[in-house]
Amino acid sequence: MTHIGTPTSRVDGRAKVTGAAKYAAEFNADMLVHGCAVTSTIAKGRITHIDVSEALRVAGVIDVLTHQNRPNMARTDRSYKEDVAPPGSPYRPLYDDRILHSGQPVALVLAEEWEIAKFAATLVKVEYNAEAHATDLALERGAAFEPSKPITRGDADKALAAAQVRHDAEYSLPIEHHNAMELHAATVIREEGGKLKVYDKTQGVMNSQKYLVSVFGLKKDELRVLSPYVGGAFGSGLRPAFQVVLAVMGAIALKRSVRVVLTRHQTFGLPYRPASIQRVALGATNGGTLDAVLHDALSITSQYEDFQRNTTSWAGALYKSPHAKYAHKLAKLDLATPGDMRAPGGACGMYALECAMDELAVKLKLDPVELRLRCYSDRDQNADIPYSSKKLRECYTQGAAAFGWDKRRAAPGSMREGHELIGFGMATGIWEAMQMKTSVRITLTANGHAEVACATSDIGTGTYTIMTQVAADMLGLPLANVTIQLGDSTLPYSPLEGGSWTAASVGNAIAVTAQAVTRELLRLAKKIPDSPLKGAKAEDVALQDGRIVSRSDPSRAVPVADAMRQGEVDRIEKTSAAASNDDGTRARYTHSAIFAEVRVDEELGVVRVTRVVNAVAAGRILNPKTARSQVMGGTVMGIGMALHEETLIDHNFGRYVNANLGEYHVPVNADIHDIEVIFVEEPDEIINPLGIKGVGEIGVVGTAAAVANAIHHATGKRIRDLPITLDKLLSSPSA
C-alpha cells in the first residue's frame, strides 16, 4: 500500500487555513433572518407569562416565538427519539411551559440582524412559578437508583474482606462541558418549493435529518442536513441540539431562511460529561495479584432521561481477578440530560481505577508498572474471551523506555529540582474498537478520477484525509485524483461519528466498494480481444497506477481507460455496505500506557505537566500524522480533566456560574509542554480486513490518572477529587 500508513497532510488543510471551508454559521442566503434564544433563569417550574411586546417594538425584529405561537410539533416521545437517545422522555425545545433545567430555551427572537436579535432577547420578560430544585449530587445520593443489575464474578465482597492487602477509596469528578472552538449553530436555507437545506453543527447528518423530519412532520425529501466541516464536537454534536430545532422552527414560521447561533454561555445548556462519585476497592495478595475488584459509580442524570455509560467494568477487560463486582447508580437532578464527552464512561472510570491501582502499588511497595504486569490478563475477564490483539505489554515497555521510567525513585517527594518537586506517574488506557455498518458510493471515471461519497462526518479528526488515503490505495490512484463527499444526509448511509469507530467503519466500506469497482472493471477488461486478464478472478487482480494488474504477474495488465472504452462507459458507479464482523468470540480494544512528569512548586502548589509519553496500540494506523494529532489532543483533554476543567453550580439557583471560557478553565499553550506519541505495531487480522481500530478516544483515557499519580509521587499528597487545584494541594496533608 502506497498511502495507508504514510504520514499525510490533511487534504482539507488548505480549505481550512484559507477560509474556504465553511462551518454551520457561515452559509448565507438572501434575506437571511437571525435568531437568538432566550433561556430560562430558573431550574424547575413553569412559565406563567411571557411579555414579548418590548422586544417586538425594536426596529428590525420580525417575530418572537414561544411555546404559545410556535409551529406545530410532534406530540409523542417516540417522535423525538434519535439514535443515541437514552431511556426516558426526550426534551422538546419550546414545546410547553415546563422548565426542566436552567438555561433551557423559552423563546426565540427573530430579527434582520444578529445584533438586533441579541439585544431584543434581553427585552423579553418571562415570569415563572418556580419549584424546589435539586442540583447537588452529594445531597441526592440517598435517592439514587440502579438502572441495571451489577455485573458480578465470584464473591467480591467476601474476597475483599479476606485479602492480604486492601485498598478502598472514593474518587470524584465534576461536571465538564465540551467547549469546542466552534459554537453550536444552524443555518436553515429555504429553497424553492419550501424545501429546507439545514447546515448544522452535528456529528451525524442522517440522525439530525431523521429527527427533524419526525419532529416537524415533514417528508424525508423536504429537509436535507449538511455538515461539511465541524470545528470540534467531542460528543456534543451526537444528539440534535436545540439550536437546529429553533432554526427550523423559525424557517417554518417565517417561510424564510434562518440562522441560530448559540452564545458560549448558552452552550452550557447542552449535554455534558456527568459528575460522578466512584468507589474502587481492590483486594490483593502480598505478591501483587488481585483477589477482588469492586468498582461502584454514582453519576447524575436528568429528571426526564436516564443517561448511563460504562464506567465501572474496565478492570475486567484489563486485569485478572477471580472475584469482581461492578455497579452503577444514577441520581436524578434538575439539569439537562448528560451526554457523551470524549471516551464517555472510560475517561471517568479509568481515572478512578488507575489511581486505585497506583495506591495499591504504594501499599505493596511495588513499581506501578510491575503491579500491572503481574495483574495482566490475556483474556477479557468480563466476557471470558481472548482479544483480537492486545499489545499492552509492549505499550508499557516502549512507553517506559522512552520516558525514562527507570530513573524514578520510589519514595514520594524524593525527586526535586530547586523549589520544584518532581513526580513520575503512569496509568493504563483502554477503549473499545468498534465497527458500525456504513455504506459508500464510489464513482470512477475514465480519466482516472474517483469520487467517494458517504454521509459520515469529519469533526476535525481527519476523516477527509484517511478516506482519501484508503480510496487511493484501493483504486490505485494518486491522492490528487480522489475527491471526498461527506456530511450530507442525501449520501449513502453512515452512523453517527463517534466512539472511535469511523475510521474502521468507513475505511472498510471503501475497501468493499472498491472491490465491487474492481470486479466490474475486470469484467470489462476480459472483453478485450486476447485480454491479458482472460481467466483471472477478482481476487487475482488489483488496481495500480490506473491499470488492472494481475497480482501474480504484474506484466499482465489492462489500463482502466481501455477496459471502460471496451465497455463503452465513461464512469463506473458502485455502492456497497460494510458491517462489523464481530461474532462475539474476541474482545476488541485499543490500549495505551501513559507516563507523565509533573513539577510542583513546593510553596505555591502550582502544578506543571512537563512531559507526557503516550504509547498506543491501536491496530493499523492509517495516517500517523493525523493519528498522532488525535492522541495529542486527547492527552491535552486528559490534562484538562486532571488540573483544569470543572463546571460549577450555584445550588441556590441551580445555575452554572462559570459558563464562559474566562472562568471555565481549559489548558492553553502555556499549560502544555512535551507530548510524545508512540504507536506500537499491532497487526490484527481478526478485527477487520484492514486491521483498523481507531484512535479518537484512547488519548484521553488514563491521562488524568497518570497526572494525578505523578502529583502524589511528587508531593506525597493523594487528591482524589478532580480537578487537582493548588488550594486542594496546599490544604491536603501528605499521605
Residues with a known catalytic role: 697
C-alpha cell at 119: 439585544
CA dist 97 and 128 (Å) reads 9
| 193: Cβ contacts below 8 Å, ≥ 6 apart | none
DSSP calls for 665-729: ----GGG--EEEEEE-----SSS-TT-B---TTTTTTTHHHHHHHHHHHHHS----BSS--HHHH
Tell me which amino acid residue 76 is: T
| Dihedral angle of Cα 503, 509, 515, 516, to the nearest 10 degrees | -160
Which residue, 448, 550, 461, is CA-closest to 499? 461
Strand partners, 374: none
CA dist 141 and 173 (Å) reads 15
Look-up of cell digits 406545530: 72
Q: Where are the alpha helices (DSSP H) in 304-419?
A: 346-364, 368-374, 392-403
Strands 420-432 and 416-417, by their bridges, are antiparallel
Strands 482-485 and 450-453, by their bridges, are parallel
Q: Contact at 8 Å (CB) between 454 and 491?
A: yes
Which residue, 464, 486, 438, is CA-closest to 228? 486
Q: Which residues of 623-652 are buried (b: 16+ CB within 10 A; e: fewer)?
A: beebbbbbbbbbbbbbbbbbbbbbbebeee
How far from the centroid of its chain's Cα atoms is residue 495's Cα? 13
Q: Contact at 8 Å (CB) between 322 and 162?
A: no
Q: Which residues of 418-430 are buried (b: 16+ CB within 10 A; e: fewer)?
A: eebbbbbbbbbbb
Q: Contact at 8 Å (CB) between 427 and 403?
A: no
Strands 541-544 and 482-485, by their bridges, are unpaired
Please give the angle made by the CA atoms of 167, 605 and 661, to the nearest 5 degrees: 100
Q: Contact at 8 Å (CB) between 75 and 95?
A: no
Q: Contact at 8 Å (CB) between 501 and 435?
A: yes
| 144: Cβ contacts below 8 Å, ≥ 6 apart | 298, 329, 330, 331
CA dist 175 and 179 (Å) reads 12
DSSP state of 36: E
DSSP state of 229: -
CA dist 409 and 424 (Å) reads 9
| Dihedral angle of Cα 609, 610, 616, 622, to the nearest 10 degrees | 110
Strand partners, 151: 326
CA dist 218 and 191 (Å) reads 15
Q: Contact at 8 Å (CB) between 247 and 33?
A: no
